[in-house]
Amino acid sequence: MSTPPPDTPGPELRTGDATFDAYAEAMGSDKAPLLGHLVLYSVFDGQVTRDDLARWFAELDLDESLLPPPLRHTDAYERVTGPNGVKMSYPLDDPSAIGPASKYGRRRGRNEYVTTVTLMVRPVRRDGGQIVRHVVREIRDEERSNLEYDTRIAICTFDRDNSEGSAEGAGTLTVEENRSAIARLPEAEQATVRQMLAEVADSFSRRCTYLTSDRLRSVVRQYVENLNAIRVRPTGGVYFVHRQHAQVLGALRELVGRFGQGSHFVRVPLPDQEEMREMIITAFTTKAKDELDELARDIAAAQRNGKVAEAQKLYQRFTTLQVATNEHSDLLSTSLDDTKAALQLVKIQLGGLLASATEEE
């Protein structure tokens, strides 16, 4: 069973349900006391270009400073040929049975082991003009506990475009088969090898053209968190956003709906009730405590290691947390005394580090 991405809620909330729609409509009226919204979203692969995203941001009046940077060909190459890039594993006697390498590391019978082949990409060299990597064929013999390698089944070369006016990271991919090495393989395996090489080229082309689901998911997460959202679920994917951002959430819902089939963004209206307030306050104070504890440790480490140059970055983290605390205290009409007290202690600690930085200057 595959594990959903961290920002993907488990059970899908279907907004077509009549009861939920009626609730959302009632909570969306001016008569209902609304605290804010719980936000859930899931994003899947589609065919969204960076230009598409920029156009949609403009149409929906979203903050264009939160757009991702343009796609870089070199990033696509690094991802496709990197450790988490394209690879294939299969039993030596059945090359068509492609699957994860761990699937074949077991016995078929009492005394029968599976000999596994894995096709992977390994780095060779890089310079200002090229990045070169080889497709390697690894044979794992479980019975004899040894490995064999064909070290160059193919060559994947990224030629950098260093011409004047070219985009940053621009370049082209060439996948060159080692025909003699492939010809020595069984015919069935030759087809699997060529399938893997075709996937490298296809994945590179897609990543140079379209934003991946991971990239789009990151855009949505960054935008939601930029609204000073409170993460309700520790692993992410469920946030509380105050009612003042309702219009922006509507625009984000429209945006995600354009990403492609399966992608959705759901706003669950949260009534302004004591129980709901307690849930949100607890989520914020828990998160703030974790961040303050981490910040205090980082300040202590900077002092201990004499890295006073890091003081400005640490101060920025402190300021961001302080602003969020004050904002949520006002919006939730509550006093976050414990968090403010912890902030004061960290402020004193940070003051010592800033004083050391000033003395060095």
214 falls within a domain = no
* Judgement on whether residues 253 and 287 belong to the same structural domain of the protein: no
Give the whole-angstrom CA distance, residue 319 versus residue 323.
6
pLDDT at 13: 47
259 falls within a domain = yes
* Judgement on whether residues 52 and 120 belong to the same structural domain of the protein: no
Burial per residue of 158-174, b for 16 or more beta-carbon CB atoms within 10 angstroms, e otherwise = bbbeeeeeeeebbbebe
143 falls within a domain = yes
216 falls within a domain = no
* Judgement on whether residues 289 and 331 belong to the same structural domain of the protein: yes
* Judgement on whether residues 55 and 91 belong to the same structural domain of the protein: no
Domain boundary residue among 177, 209, 241?
A: 209
* Judgement on whether residues 203 and 226 belong to the same structural domain of the protein: no
| Cβ-Cβ contacts under 8 Å for 288 (sequence gap 6 or more) | 321, 324, 325, 336, 339, 342
Domain boundary residue among 209, 238, 255?
A: 209
Specify the amino acid at residue 344: Q
Give the whole-angstrom CA distance, residue 113 versus residue 63.
57
Tally the domains of the chain.
3
Work out whether the CA dihedral 88, 90, 96, 100 comes out positive or negative: negative
* Judgement on whether residues 152 and 183 belong to the same structural domain of the protein: yes
* Judgement on whether residues 77 and 190 belong to the same structural domain of the protein: yes
Show the domain range for 195: 73-209
79 falls within a domain = yes
161 falls within a domain = yes
Map tokens 């904002």 to a residue. Answer: 327
* Judgement on whether residues 195 and 94 belong to the same structural domain of the protein: yes
Residues 25/267, Cβ–Cβ less than 8 Å: no
* Judgement on whether residues 204 and 321 belong to the same structural domain of the protein: no
pLDDT at 356: 56
* Judgement on whether residues 266 and 329 belong to the same structural domain of the protein: no
pLDDT tens-digit profile, the chain (361 residues): 444 454 544 444 444 455 445 445 545 555 557 788 889 999 998 899 999 999 999 999 999 999 999 999 999 999 999 999 999 998 888 887 776 655 555 445 555 667 888 999 999 999 999 999 999 999 887 655 666 777 789 999 999 999 999 999 999 999 999 999 999 998 889 999 999 999 999 999 999 999 999 999 999 999 998 898 888 876 667 888 888 899 999 999 999 999 988 999 999 898 877 777 777 777 767 777 777 777 777 777 776 776 666 777 777 777 777 777 666 565 555 555 655 565 666 556 556 655 554 445 4
pLDDT at 29: 52
| Cβ-Cβ contacts under 8 Å for 155 (sequence gap 6 or more) | 132, 133, 134, 135, 174, 175, 176, 178
* Judgement on whether residues 353 and 297 belong to the same structural domain of the protein: yes
* Judgement on whether residues 64 and 79 belong to the same structural domain of the protein: no
Q: What is the pTM of this model?
A: 0.69
